[in-house]
Chains A and B, each alone.
Chain A
């Protein structure tokens, strides 16, 4: 059972109270981008076996989107953080044993 703490409610929300939103921190490519960039934005995902930053929505609770950093293999959750964040926080990456991108 996956339990994530909603950064807005402070609740430890059960997975069934949440809605998954896929990979986080994508760069949106719009009308002026190349076909390759647009295709990658729409369809190509990392889908890693290991540490993954994801979007989740507290759909049965406060209704807000937020981010979670977790391991897709062990299901360990390193932490959650607000949607208004462009990259995973350094302390969570450290907990996950990942070097922050420069």
Chain B
């Protein structure tokens, strides 16, 4: 007999994490931004994630960006950035293997995240990259279409993230976000 509260249309799936490059430097420094622009990377505003030539780039802190690109492109891009930033107070680190990535899709995606994160989920708009606490671990998520969410967390806790997300996505029907 089916459980009437089950909402199987909200799904949690593993995504290939793709290429990721961690960039550190003063985002307020025009010289730093200029080099990034030259490499096809725009500098997003506070807490934003924006598209760029190489993929997407997200704001992590006033001195940190996370670049999402094709897995096959990250090695080259990291080398190019490193060379272009030589002489500047900056760090380029290829972190393809550092994080796991999930997609929470379906009508209950916001509710599922609201159960796990101290975030006003009703107000998360596309293009916002929200770093927060997912139950007991740090994570970051964003939405492109306003409904489905992509989430990254450290790979060492991917199993935990998958478990809590799957459990939270199971019963979301009838829960209205304030």
A: which residues have CB within 8 A of B?
8-11, 13-14, 16-17, 59-64
Residue total for B at the interface (Cβ-Cβ under 8 A)? 11
Q: Does A60 contact B133, Cβ atoms closer than 8 Å?
A: yes
Question: Which of chain B's residues has its CB closest to A8's CB?
Answer: B62
B: which residues have CB within 8 A of A?
46-47, 60-62, 64, 118, 131-133, 138
**How far is the CB of A81 from the nearest CB of chain B, in Å?**
15
Q: Does A9 contact B46, Cβ atoms closer than 8 Å?
A: yes
Question: Which of chain B's residues has its CB closest to A9's CB?
Answer: B47
CA–CA, A9 and B129, complex, Å: 11
Q: Does B131 contact A60, Cβ atoms closer than 8 Å?
A: yes
CA–CA, A59 and B133, complex, Å: 9
CA–CA, A100 and B138, complex, Å: 38
**How far is the CB of A86 from the nearest CB of chain B, in Å?**
19
Which of chain B's residues have a CB closer than 8 A to the CB of A61?
131-132
> B138's contact among A8, A10, A60, A64, by CB below 8 Å, is which?
A60
> A16's contact among B46, B62, B133, by CB below 8 Å, is which?
B133
Which of chain A's residues have a CB closer than 8 A to the CB of B62?
8, 62, 64
CA–CA, A65 and B47, complex, Å: 17
